């Protein structure tokens, strides 16, 4: 069903928006928990030009930056493209040429919400340009369209963290809902990205290794820990959050895809990390702390352990992020 048609007065409009990296799951919160980060962001510029004849082939994507070279620019294989295609169709915006330029700064395929960030920035930009007044829940839903390009299925944890920032709980049944909770001020993280080859459609691949059935005992374990994470964010209790970042279902299945995972986790915890888990679908990992004092040491430990197995890595020190932003609209 087509929505009300929207028009812009100007012949040419440009919007620039940013959306940051994110980490998802936080241990037991598979497909439910998202956390925005304040490190690394994709920058999306959308240029809209009015045309006299409607044309459904009206969207073009240009990828910028070294990381952008690895991402296809056809609409159905690009997360921003899928979002633009859906919004343009729903709002009958075919009387405009749409040029999307993406400055890719978040490494794709490493569990830091790269596809989600480009999708989110595209959704908020189109909403702003055309004055669509899409509510936050629907914008979240549009953003998740982009995950079809990398995961083969809509999922909302990374897009929620990237869109809203801070800690977000996403419910999808019986309807899509979200709960955003401010993070404790002193919550700090070290994200480690091992520079290993990842398969195409890596997120879809990593979802396939997850068991489809689990014992009731394991489910109870994860539900209890997920409750601890939520209560910790609500009460700003970092120790409670970290005590809940303990997963007996997803982590055991996915850690086999990450070289050296057990040793890096062990060393990080020995050096003062309060919790350690896989970031999203991996292979990035994330260590949680309640201060900045030990962040550099844990970064060094991660690099040391990967060096022992001849793998290069990058580490990023992060706090919870504040969500997507419109930088300019003119």
What pLDDT digit, counting tens, does each position of 281-323 carry?
999 999 999 988 999 999 999 999 999 999 999 999 999 999 9
CATH code of residue 226: 3.30.70.890
- Widest CA span in the chain: 65
The reply to whether 29 and 102 lie within a common domain is yes
Structural domain boundaries enclosing 78: 12-183+320-329
The reply to whether 313 and 211 lie within a common domain is yes
Whether 147 is catalytic: yes
CB atoms within 10 A of CB 172: 15
The reply to whether 43 and 148 lie within a common domain is yes
The reply to whether 307 and 325 lie within a common domain is no
Judge whether 6 lies within some domain. Answer: no
Judge whether 227 lies within some domain. Answer: yes
Q: Per-residue confidence at 9, pLDDT binned at 50, 70, 90?
A: low
Indicate which residue of 41, 101, 145, 147 is catalytic. Answer: 147
* Residue that has been written with the tokens 């396939």 in this structure: 208
Judge whether 3 lies within some domain. Answer: no
The reply to whether 209 and 179 lie within a common domain is no
The whole-number average pLDDT for the span 162-177 is 97
CATH code of residue 166: 3.30.230.10
What pLDDT digit, counting tens, does each position of 62-81 carry?
999 898 888 899 999 999 99
Do 209 and 253 meet the contact criterion of CB atoms below 8 Å apart? yes
Count of helix runs (H) and strand runs (E) in the chain: 11, 11
pLDDT at residue 1 is higher than 50: no
The reply to whether 174 and 261 lie within a common domain is no
Judge whether 89 lies within some domain. Answer: yes
Report the alpha-carbon distance of residue 244 to residue 75 in Å, rounded. Answer: 39
Structure tokens at 88: 């343009």
The reply to whether 50 and 159 lie within a common domain is yes
Question: Percent of the chain beyond pLDDT 90?
Answer: 85
The reply to whether 259 and 175 lie within a common domain is no
pLDDT at residue 206 is higher than 60: yes
Judge whether 159 lies within some domain. Answer: yes
pLDDT at residue 257 is higher than 60: yes
Q: Is 156 helix (H, G, I), strand (E, B) or coil?
A: coil
Q: Per-residue confidence at 205, pLDDT binned at 50, 70, 90?
A: confident
What pLDDT digit, counting tens, does each position of 32-42 carry?
999 999 999 99
Higher pLDDT among residues 8 and 251, named by residue: 251
pLDDT at residue 2 is higher than 60: no
The number of C-alpha atoms within 13 Å of 296 and in the hemisphere containing its C-beta is: 1
The whole-number average pLDDT for the span 45-65 is 90
The reply to whether 168 and 202 lie within a common domain is no
Question: Percent of the chain beyond pLDDT 70?
Answer: 98
Main-chain dihedrals φ then ψ at residue 292, nearest 5 degrees = -95, 0
Structure tokens at 165: 């920032």
The whole-number average pLDDT for the span 235-242 is 98
| CB-based burial, 67-94: b 16+ in 10 Å, e otherwise | bbeebeeebebbbbbbbbbbbbeebebb
Judge whether 2 lies within some domain. Answer: no
> Mean pLDDT for the chain?
94
Number of domains in the chain: 2
Name the residue among 5, 8, 322, 35 with its Cα closest to residue 167: 35
Residue 173 zone, left/alpha/beta (φ > 0; ψ -120 to 50; rest): beta
Judge whether 1 lies within some domain. Answer: no
The reply to whether 172 and 277 lie within a common domain is no
Q: What is the pLDDT of residue 152?
A: 86
Do 276 and 23 meet the contact criterion of CB atoms below 8 Å apart? no
Q: What is the pLDDT of residue 216?
A: 98
The reply to whether 149 and 106 lie within a common domain is yes
Indicate which residue of 203, 277, 285, 315 is catalytic. Answer: 203
Q: Is 188 helix (H, G, I), strand (E, B) or coil?
A: strand
What's the pTM?
0.94
Judge whether 122 lies within some domain. Answer: yes
Report the alpha-carbon distance of residue 51 to residue 53 in Å, rounded. Answer: 6
The reply to whether 127 and 21 lie within a common domain is yes
Whether 315 is catalytic: no
What pLDDT digit, counting tens, does each position of 89-132 carry?
999 999 999 999 999 999 998 999 999 999 999 999 999 999 99
């Amino acid at each position: 069903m087509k929505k009300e048609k929207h028009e812009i007065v100007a012949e040419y409009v440009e919007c620039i928006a940013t959306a940051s990296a994110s980490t998802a799951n936080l241990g037991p919160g598979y497909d439910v928990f998202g956390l925005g980060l304040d490190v690394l962001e994709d920058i999306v510029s959308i240029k809209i030009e009015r045309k006299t004849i409607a044309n459904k082939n009206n969207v073009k994507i240009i990828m910028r930056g070294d990381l952008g070279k690895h991402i296809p620019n056809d609409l159905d294989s690009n997360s921003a493209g899928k979002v633009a295609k859906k919004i343009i169709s729903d709002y009958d915006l075919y009387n405009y040429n749409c040029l999307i330029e993406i400055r890719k700064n978040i490494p794709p395929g490493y569990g830091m919400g790269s596809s989600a960030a480009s999708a989110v920035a595209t959704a908020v930009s189109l909403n702003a340009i055309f004055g669509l007044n899409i509510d936050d829940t629907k914008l979240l839903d549009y953003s998740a369209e982009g995950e079809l390009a990398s995961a083969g299925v809509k999922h909302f944890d990374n897009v929620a963290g990237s869109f809203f920032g801070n800690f977000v709980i996403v419910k999808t049944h019986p309807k899509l809902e979200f709960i955003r909770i401010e993070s404790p001020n002193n919550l700090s993280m070290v994200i480690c990205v091992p520079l290993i080859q990842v398969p195409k459609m890596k997120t879809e691949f990593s979802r396939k290794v997850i068991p489809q059935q689990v014992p009731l005992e394991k489910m109870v374990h994860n539900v209890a820990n997920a409750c601890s994470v939520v209560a910790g964010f609500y009460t700003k209790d970092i120790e409670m959050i970290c005590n809940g970042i303990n997963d007996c279902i997803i982590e055991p299945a996915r850690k086999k895809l990450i070289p050296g995972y057990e040793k890096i986790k062990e060393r990080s915890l020995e050096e003062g990390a309060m919790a350690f888990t896989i970031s999203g679908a991996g292979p990035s990992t994330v260590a949680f702390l309640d201060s900045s004092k030990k962040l550099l040491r844990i970064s060094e430990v991660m690099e040391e352990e990967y060096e022992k197995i001849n793998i290069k890595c990058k580490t990023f020190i992060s706090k919870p992020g504040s969500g997507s932003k419109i930088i300019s609209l003119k």
